[in-house]
Structure 1
Amino acid sequence: MTTQEAAPIAVPSGQPVTLLETIWNEPGPAGLTFRFRFLAPEIGFGGSVDYDTAYADIVALCESYVLPRLNGTEPAPAQVIVSLSDRPLPFGAADPEVTQFFEAFSISDGHCIWEAF
């Protein structure tokens, strides 16, 4: 597991997204799963980024941030989950005051392929 990076990561919405943590030691439903958890403060209640815009950010994060970090990973993960949260929240915790969006992807031919949860 790795933890928070302070440098903002460029996303289509322009919101200041930062990495909270990467988790690869928790099993997923599809086998080996890597989770990339990001802080995205503008998705929260009253924020300026709606789900459709956040989805574009998630796809961009998978393609431009996640894929380069998986290059050469053995064994390759069966699934990658990219999540956005408007506030830090421990992995697996729920809080009705925190907005979170999750999307799952498989990796094929160097691209993130959306997988229905």
Structure 2
Amino acid sequence: MVEDLGGETWLRFRFIAPQIAKGPGAIAYDRAAPDMEHLCAVVALPYMTEHALAGQVIVVSLADRPVEFGAADPEATQYFEAFRAQDGTCIWEGL
């Protein structure tokens, strides 16, 4: 998904990760964060190149189930991370 927010182009890459669901054995944010950086590097950056997309912010999100964009789902577990593309790598934004 491509959005124009405050004069910047944001590219959103959304993934389903059932393993982050609440409960025993759930993968916590600290363990999932490196996966989001990896998805930025191996999925988002090549996709941007392939489709000639430019954006200032790349947002990678993980959800334990499909959630409509912008909709609230208090039962869903969702993790979000923002990056900037620089020199072919994903730089964490820490938003």
Same fold (TM over 0.5): yes
Q: In the superposition, relative to structure 1, how do residues 49 and 60 fare at CA in structure 2: closer, same or farther (>3 Å)?
A: same
The alignment partner of 2:8 has SS state of: coil
Matching residue of 1:85:
63
Matching residue of 1:36:
13
Structure with the higher fraction of residues in helix conformation: 2
Question: Whole-Å Cα distance in 2 between the matches of residues 28 and 79 of structure 1?
Answer: 10
TM-score normalised by the chain length of structure 2: 0.89
Question: Whole-Å Cα distance in 2 between the matches of residues 100 and 68 of structure 1?
Answer: 24
Percent identity of paired positions between Structure 1 and Structure 2: 47
1:97 paired residue among 72, 75, 81: 75
TM-score normalised by the chain length of structure 1: 0.74
Structure 1 outlier segments of 4+, above 3 Å: none
Question: Whole-Å Cα distance in 1 between the matches of residues 21 and 61 of structure 2?
Answer: 13
Aligned length: 93
8 Å Cα contact 1:30/1:79 also seen in 2: no
**Larger RCO: Structure 1 or Structure 2 (Cα < 8 Å, ≥ 6 residues apart)?**
2
